[in-house]
Amino acid sequence: NAGVTQTPKFQVLKTGQSMTLQCAQDMNHEYMSWYRQDPGMGLRLIHYSVGAGITDQGEVPNGYNVSRSTTEDFPLRLLSAAPSQTSVYFCASRTTGGASNQPQHFGDGTRLSIL
């Protein structure tokens, strides 16, 4: 019963490096999303996808790219890491069947530090 799986769990990068955070779900959920969580600010939506081939921006999309080539995977790319991107990143998924009133399922997060 894997649910939402994020890799890696921890990562340290230098400013300017690039990296991809992986997210995979095995529940055949159409909707997937990426959030960042910073102290005292709750979670903020970065990008989301309502199905393969469809992505859209959330509240804080700058500095991040996403793609959705399959239903299962939704990677998040940092093209040129900046210290301001130090955060904990969460991936979530849910079904869109019927209505949008379905609970989201979260991964355990990726803790990213940019030096």
Partner 1 sequence: KQEVTQIPAALSVPEGENLVLNCSFTDSAIYNLQWFRQDPGKGLTSLLLIQSSQREQTSGRLNASLDKSSGRSTLYIAASQPGDSATYLCAVKVGTGGFKTIFGAGTRLFVKA
Whole-number Å distance between alpha carbons of 107 and 33: 11
Verify binding: residue 25, partner 1, rule CB under 8 A.
no
Verify binding: residue 60, partner 1, rule CB under 8 A.
no
Select 10 or 14, whichever has its Cβ closest to partner 1.
Answer: 10
Taking CB under 8 A as the criterion, the residue among 13, 31, 66, 112 binding partner 1 is 31
Residue 78 and residue 64 in contact, taking contact as beta carbons nearer than 8 Å: yes
Range in contact with partner 1 (rule: CB under 8 A) among 16-24, 48-56, 60-68, 72-80: 48-56
- What's at 60, amino acid-wise? V
- Window 74-103: residues binding partner 1 (CB under 8 A): 90, 92, 99-103
Range in contact with partner 1 (rule: CB under 8 A) among 14-22, 68-76, 78-86, 107-115: 107-115
The residues binding partner 1 (CB under 8 A) are 4, 31, 33, 35, 40-45, 48, 50, 56, 58-59, 90, 92, 99-109
